[in-house]
């Protein structure tokens, strides 16, 4: 009996190990070895535009003719490192990588691409990145959305160990940045979340005529994006003294939890005028609760992310506002800039600080017309001009 | 523990011990109900009319539907002395598949009721697979179901690939606002599942076999009951209920998302245990579970109405759950529960 138990527990342990290894090793998909990738160390080959100080970085262009043929023939590994594709916004980042891959096809670059899915686990995200970078042997570029602030540097370091190039987005501590890991940590970009939170709040308050009661559904407490969006909301609240927050809690970015919150609050405050949500998943839940209470369309709702269903609701007049961070643009352009660095066309060391850390543009969708326009939006980018994604100061 | 008359004979002592155990068992049976009533009284006193308003009672009925069905499925598994960790995956998968196959914004299928069959069927297959792995490959239920949580999440994610389908079928869209005798449709579904489970538990041989297997496997085996079949049957039944729960979730959200299932497992475990079903197996049942689910739902709802600061709410919730478990779990002095 004891022996059996022992065997069972060994089996369980080995299953666990296997499972974890299986999860972490989702980089094993393309086991094609990079053809002659080993000897190319792109860092040393910094070329052309590094010359004078008068480089017009905003108009920096990738000229395929200047990319050495051996680079084009080397298999380049592309990746986006994200929290999980079940989130519609994150899916658009993956779509952005595919758009960029089409560009690579057009210039004849050999590549392989993959999604590094951290499933919301910070340690796993770093492990994934390290394995991916090691496999690519320096011929790697990636977009990463660090699961938490603190791992941004570790991710860049994991990439730097084998000489690949990384661009991060959204989360990083204020006191570290791409400059600490030149040239491998190429850029860090983020849409301005304080502005996002402020803009949607303002649109909501305007729709309420500047006074009334609101519910606030926050995202994960302590998360940078949430904190900044709430800071934006608070800024707007100062400008509208007649708006009263009657209930505030966290829906943990989750549709289901937001539904429960709003459903419960509505029993207390059926006279609510608006609902501010920190993301669109939670807007979906809030709208469902309003619908059940027969209030859909009468109570304004706003969020961030421009989920398809929320944009459709704005077009129908059932929601007030949302903001698109344009995941296509974030994913695609980050890879484009990293690609320029990998080919050697872009000298990361010469790149000024404002081109290493900058804000990417967002689109405020706050009217049925704007919603219809966004629904018709087809991302079409010219990746040969990688810094087009930068919001000028 | 109890005072025994030193002059009593062994027979008398034994009889007295049994009597006192029966007494405490009866007390323990009522404990969860006491906790529930106590909690309702406290919330009523603090929040006054807001807690007992008709609209809030309706909200509680709405909010208990999904957790109840999940916890019912888990109850049978726990009665076996096993555990099912696949809930987050199976519930989310069922909701996603259901939304994909009815009329929706993303896909062209419009299978109507047949999508219920697909969603629940896939969940039952997963339950069957967990059962088979557990029984024949001798994998602990803990591990087999844990693996299936990921498998099911994967199936759910593949089903809509990042673009969650919003349900547009007018009949299904109207269900969250459909009431019968003042009770929401989805709550009726969950109550129907409850009655079904109660029937299985009390009036079928299968139901009694679950208790027997949970208490001591070797006894039913010695009288010719196929322990394997009972175990597999329980996992299939759990899969069925998780599937139904997922569909309830999708109906409530109006959208198919894998997130329908996330964070559903541990509250369900807590509900089952707070209700008085022993993690060691063989004790408890679905009536305990409905009380447990009510405790959890009322706690959630009450704290929200109280407006407890979100930063401390989670902690407070944990403390109250712990207290509830302390008050309700029958503790034998000899065995520390697994």
Residue pLDDT, tens place only, A148-196: 888 999 999 999 998 999 999 988 888 999 999 989 999 999 888 999 9
Q: Which of B307, B303, B336, B309 is nearest to B321 (CA)?
A: B303
- Whether the predicted pLDDT of A25 surpasses 60: no
* Separation between Cα atoms, residue B279 and residue B120, nearest integer Å: 26
Tell me the pLDDT tens digit for each residue of A370-385. Answer: 999 999 988 889 999 9
Residues 19-58 of A with CB under 8 A from B: 19, 23
- Domains of chain A, earliest start first: 29-191+327-360+385-389 (3.40.50.2300), 194-324 (3.40.50.2300)
Task: Report whether pLDDT(A33) > 70.
Answer: no
- Residue B338 pLDDT > 60: no
Considering only the beta carbons, identify the residue of A11, A92, A221 that sits closest to B139. A11
Residue A206's φ and ψ, nearest 5 degrees, are -60, -40
Alpha helix ranges (H) inside chain A: 2-24, 69-73, 88-107, 122-136, 152-161, 193-207, 224-239, 255-268, 280-292, 308-316, 327-343, 368-375
How many A/B residue pairs have CB atoms within 8 Å?
A: 121
Q: A270: nearest CA in chain B?
A: B55
Give the CATH fold of the B35-40+52-324 domain. ABC transporter involved in vitamin B12 uptake, BtuC (1.10.3470)
pLDDT of residue A222: 78
Task: Say what the ipTM of the complex is.
Answer: 0.83
For residues B204-214, average pLDDT: 94
User: pLDDT tier at B2 (50, 70, 90 boundaries)?
Assistant: low
pLDDT of A273 over the 80 cut: yes
Q: Comparing C-alpha atoms, which of B84, B159, B157 is closest to residue B127? A: B84
**Structure tokens belonging to residue B282:** 């063989």
Q: Cα–Cα distance between B55 and A264 in angstroms, integer?
A: 9
Of the candidates B307, B304, B247, the one whose C-alpha atom is nearest the C-alpha of residue B56 is: B304
pLDDT reading at B254 higher than 80: yes
Contact call for B161 and A91, based on CB within 8 A: yes
Residue B331, C-beta contacts closer than 8 angstroms, at least 6 positions apart? B337
Is the CB of B256 inside 8 Å of chain A's CB atoms? no
Give domain limits for chain B.
35-40+52-324
Check if the beta carbon of residue A94 is closer than 8 Å to that of residue A50.
Answer: no
Is pLDDT above 60 for A360? Answer: yes
- The verdict on a CB contact (< 8 Å) between B176 and A292 is yes
- Segment B49-71 mean pLDDT: 91
pLDDT of residue A45: 39
Q: Do B63 and A260 touch (CB under 8 A)?
A: yes
What was the pLDDT predicted at A223? 79
Q: Do A8 and B138 touch (CB under 8 A)?
A: yes
């Amino acid at each position: 009996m004891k022996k059996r138990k022992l065997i069972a527990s060994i089996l369980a342990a080995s299953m666990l190990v296997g499972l974890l290894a299986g999860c972490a090793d989702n980089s094993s998909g393309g086991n094609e070895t990079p053809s002659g990738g080993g000897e190319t160390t792109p860092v040393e080959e910094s070329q052309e535009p590094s010359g004078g100080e008068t480089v017009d970085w905003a108009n920096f262009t990738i000229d395929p003719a200047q990319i050495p043929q051996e680079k084009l023939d080397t298999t380049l590994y592309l990746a986006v490192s994200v929290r999980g594709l079940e989130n519609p916004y994150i899916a658009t980042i993956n779509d952005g990588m595919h758009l960029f891959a089409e560009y690579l096809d057009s210039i004849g670059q050999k590549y392989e691409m993959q999604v590094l899915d951290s499933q919301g686990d910070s340690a796993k995200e770093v492990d994934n990145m390290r394995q991916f970078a090691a496999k690519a042997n320096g011929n790697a570029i990636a977009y990463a959305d660090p699961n938490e602030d603190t791992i941004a540097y570790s991710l860049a370091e994991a990439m730097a160990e084998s000489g690949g190039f990384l661009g991060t987005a959204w989360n990083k501590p204020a006191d570290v940045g791409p400059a600490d890991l030149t040239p491998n940590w190429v850029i860090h970009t983020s849409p301005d979340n304080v502005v996002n939170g402020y803009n949607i709040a303002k649109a909501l308050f305007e729709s309420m005529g500047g006074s009334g009661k609101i519910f606030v559904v926050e995202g994960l407490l302590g998360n940078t994006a949430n904190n900044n969006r709430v800071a934006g909301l608070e800024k707007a609240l100062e400008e509208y003294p007649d708006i009263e927050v009657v209930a505030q809690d966290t829906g943990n970015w989750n549709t289901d939890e937001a539904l429960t919150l709003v459903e419960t609050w509505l029993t207390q405050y059926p006279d609510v005028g608006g609902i501010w949500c920190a993301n669109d998943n939670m807007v979906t839940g809030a709208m469902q609760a309003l619908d059940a209470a027969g209030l859909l369309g009468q109570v304004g709702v706003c969020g961030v992310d421009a989920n398809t269903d929320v944009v459709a609701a704005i077009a129908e007049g059932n929601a007030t506002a949302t903001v698109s961070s344009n995941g296509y643009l974030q994913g695609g352009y980050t890879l484009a800039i990293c690609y320029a660095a990998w080919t050697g066309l872009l000298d990361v060391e010469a790149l000024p600080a404002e081109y290493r850390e900058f804000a990417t543009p967002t689109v405020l969708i706050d009217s049925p017309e704007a919603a219809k326009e966004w629904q018709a939006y087809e991302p079409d980018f010219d990746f040969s001009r990688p810094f087009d994604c930068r919001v000028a100061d | 523990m109890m005072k025994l008359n030193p002059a009593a004979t062994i027979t008398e002592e034994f009889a007295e011990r049994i009597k006192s155990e029966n007494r405490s068992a009866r007390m323990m049976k009522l404990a969860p109900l006491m906790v529930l009533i106590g909690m309702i009284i406290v919330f009523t006193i603090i929040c006054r009319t807001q807690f007992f308003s008709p609209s809030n009672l309706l909200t509680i009925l709405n909010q208990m539907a999904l957790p109840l069905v999940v916890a019912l499925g888990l109850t049978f598994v726990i009665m076996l002395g096993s555990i099912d960790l696949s809930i987050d995956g199976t519930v989310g998968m069922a909701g996603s598949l259901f939304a994909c196959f009815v009329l929706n914004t993303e896909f062209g299928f419009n299978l109507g009721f047949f999508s219920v069959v697909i969603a629940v069927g896939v969940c039952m297959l997963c339950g069957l697979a967990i059962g088979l792995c557990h029984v024949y490959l001798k994998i602990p239920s803990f591990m087999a179901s844990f693996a299936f949580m990921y498998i099911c999440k994967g199936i759910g994610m593949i089903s809509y690939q990042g673009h969650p389908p919003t349900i547009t079928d007018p009949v299904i869209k109207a269900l969250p606002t459909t009431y019968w005798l003042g009770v929401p449709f989805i709550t009726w579904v969950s109550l129907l599942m409850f009655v079904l489970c109660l029937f299985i538990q009390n009036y079928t041989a299968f139901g009694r076999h679950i208790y027997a297997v949970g208490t001591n496997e070797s006894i039913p085996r010695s009288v010719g009951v196929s322990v394997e079949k009972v175990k597999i049957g329980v996992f299939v039944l759990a899969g069925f209920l998780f599937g139904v729960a997922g569909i309830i979730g999708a109906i409530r959200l109006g959208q198919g998302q894998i997130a329908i299932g996330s964070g559903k497992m541990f509250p369900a475990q807590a509900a089952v245990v707070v209700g008085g079903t022993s993690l060691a197996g063989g004790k408890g049942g679905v009536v305990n579970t409905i009380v447990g689910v009510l405790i959890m739902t009322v706690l959630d709802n009450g704290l929200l109405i109280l407006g407890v600061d979100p930063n401390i709410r989670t902690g407070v919730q944990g403390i109250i759950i712990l207290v509830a478990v302390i008050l309700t779990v029958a503790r034998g002095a000899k065995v520390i529960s697994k």
